[in-house]
Amino acid sequence: MQMAIDDIIGNFELLDDWEDRYRYLIELGRTLEPLAKDAYSEANKVRGCASQVWLDTKVAQDDKGQKLLIFHGDSDAHIVRGLVALVLALYSGRAASTILETDAAPLFAELGLAQHLTPQRANGLRAMVERIKSEARAAV
């Protein structure tokens, strides 16, 4: 089951040490629901990530007719799986318009990710967010 972004932020704030935060990211990654076998496709692969990352997108409608985007994801690297879980907590299940209005950068800065991730992981994180925003633009 996907954790709420506010719960993740609260848990992150309880951890002072970056080793503990990395362990927490790895634990978050373990909470991801498994992807269907056919979701591990070239079409779902996120470009710009050093690790392999897949994002599968489903579009649904709420009772007001708004398009909601539901994302599932996975990676072949433990910490990156945690970053996938973090991004999904922020964006999955939200209206396409809300996704486009939500800037992840302030959250990543608040959590200290910008200064503690390798440049490759930071680029991959940006690539995941850009892929999600691209899916949201396509759904609008």
pLDDT tens-digit series, residues 119-129: 889 999 999 99
The reported pLDDT for the residue numbered 66 is 87
Per-residue pLDDT, averaged over 53-60, amounts to 96
Give yes or no: 49 in active site.
Answer: yes
Domain ranges of the chain: 5-139
End-to-end CA distance of the chain: 27
Q: Residue 133: CB partners within 8 Å, gap ≥ 6? A: 99, 100
What pLDDT, in 10s, does the model give residues 98-137? 999 999 999 999 999 878 998 889 999 999 999 999 999 9
Distances (CA, A) of 48 to 29, 95, 129: 19, 25, 11
Q: What is the mean pLDDT of the chain?
A: 93
The CATH code for residues 5-139 is 3.90.1010.10
Task: Residue 125: count other Cβ atoms within 10 Å of its Cβ.
Answer: 24
Catalytic hit among 25, 49, 117, 128: 49
Q: What is the mean pLDDT of residues 77-98?
A: 95
Q: Measured at the alpha carbon of residue 15, what is the angle toward residues 72 and 79, in degrees to the nearest 5?
A: 35
pLDDT surpassing 90 at residue 2:
no
Element (H, E) at 134: helix 119-139
What are 54's strand-pairing partners? 45, 74
Contact 100, 133 (CB under 8 A): yes
- pLDDT for residue 55 is more than 70: yes
Mean pLDDT of 70-99: 96
14-45 tens-digit pLDDT:
998 999 999 999 999 999 999 999 999 999 99
Contact 69, 96 (CB under 8 A): yes
Q: What is the pLDDT of residue 1?
A: 59
Q: Can you give the pLDDT at residue 16?
A: 87
